[in-house]
C-alpha cells in the first residue's frame, strides 16, 4: 500500500479543473464531482483516510492504482495522489501540465464572466438610455402642451379664434381673426 502525498494546488474553480483533467486525457464521466469530501480508495479497494471533493477513481488511472482526489480547502484545492501514481506518470511534470491547462481554462472562465458582466452592463446602459429617452420625450411633450395652452390663451385674449389640427405627432394651430 503506497502512501498518499498531499500537495497544495493553485486551483479554486471546479469546472476549470474538470476541463483541465479532460485536456489531460480523462473523460467527464471519469471525473466525480461531490458536494463534500468523499473517501478515496486504495488499489485493493480499501478505504483510505484521505477524502476529496473531485475524484478520479482508480479504474480510470491504471491497473493496481489508487484514486486521485482534489480536496477543497479555504485557500484552494489539495491534491491527494499516491507515491505509486507519481511513479507511474502522475508526477511533477503531469502536475505542471494540469496547472497550465487549469490556468488556461480558468482565464477563459474569467473572460467569459467579464464578457457576461459587460453585456449585462451594456444591457443596463441601453435600458437606462431608453428610460432617459422616454423621459426626454415626455418632457418635450409637456413643453409643447404648455406652449400650446399659453399660445391659445393669449390668442383668445387678443380676439383670435384658434383651430387645432393634429397630423401624427405634429400640431398645427390656425389663428383666425375677422375684422370688418
Q: State the helix-helix crossing angle for 14-23 and 92-157, rounded to 10 degrees.
A: 130
Q: How far is CA 115 from the centre of its chain?
A: 8
For residue 115 the three cell numbers come to: 464578457
What global pTM score does this model have?
A: 0.63
User: Mean pLDDT, consecutive 10-residue segments, the chain of 180 residues?
Assistant: 77 91 93 93 89 93 88 88 86 91 91 84 83 84 84 88 84 81
Among residues 47, 51, 56, 58, the alpha carbon closest in space to that of 37 is found at 51
Q: What is the pLDDT of residue 1?
A: 58
Q: Break the chain down into helix, strand, coil percent, rounded to 5.
A: 50, 30, 20
The C-alpha angle 26, 103, 31, rounded to 5 degrees, equals: 25
Amino acid at each position: 500500500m503506497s502512501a498518499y502525498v498531499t500537495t497544495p494546488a493553485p486551483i479554486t474553480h471546479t469546472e476549470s479543473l474538470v476541463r483541465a483533467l479532460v485536456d489531460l486525457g480523462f473523460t467527464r464521466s471519469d471525473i466525480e464531482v461531490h458536494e463534500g469530501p468523499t473517501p478515496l480508495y486504495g488499489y485493493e479497494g480499501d478505504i483510505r483516510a484521505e477524502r476529496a471533493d473531485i475524484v478520479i477513481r482508480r479504474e480510470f488511472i491504471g491497473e493496481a492504482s489508487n484514486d486521485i482526489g482534489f480536496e477543497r480547502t479555504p485557500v484552494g484545492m489539495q491534491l491527494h495522489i499516491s507515491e505509486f501514481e507519481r511513479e507511474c506518470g502522475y508526477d511533477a511534470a503531469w502536475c505542471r501540465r494540469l496547472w497550465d491547462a487549469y490556468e488556461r481554462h480558468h482565464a477563459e472562465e474569467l473572460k467569459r464572466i467579464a464578457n457576461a458582466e459587460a453585456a449585462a452592463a451594456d444591457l443596463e446602459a441601453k435600458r437606462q438610455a431608453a428610460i432617459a429617452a422616454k423621459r426626454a420625450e415626455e418632457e418635450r411633450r409637456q413643453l409643447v402642451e404648455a406652449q400650446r395652452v399659453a399660445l391659445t390663451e393669449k390668442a383668445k385674449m387678443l380676439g383670435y379664434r384658434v383651430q387645432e389640427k393634429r397630423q401624427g405627432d405634429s400640431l398645427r394651430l390656425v389663428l383666425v381673426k375677422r375684422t370688418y
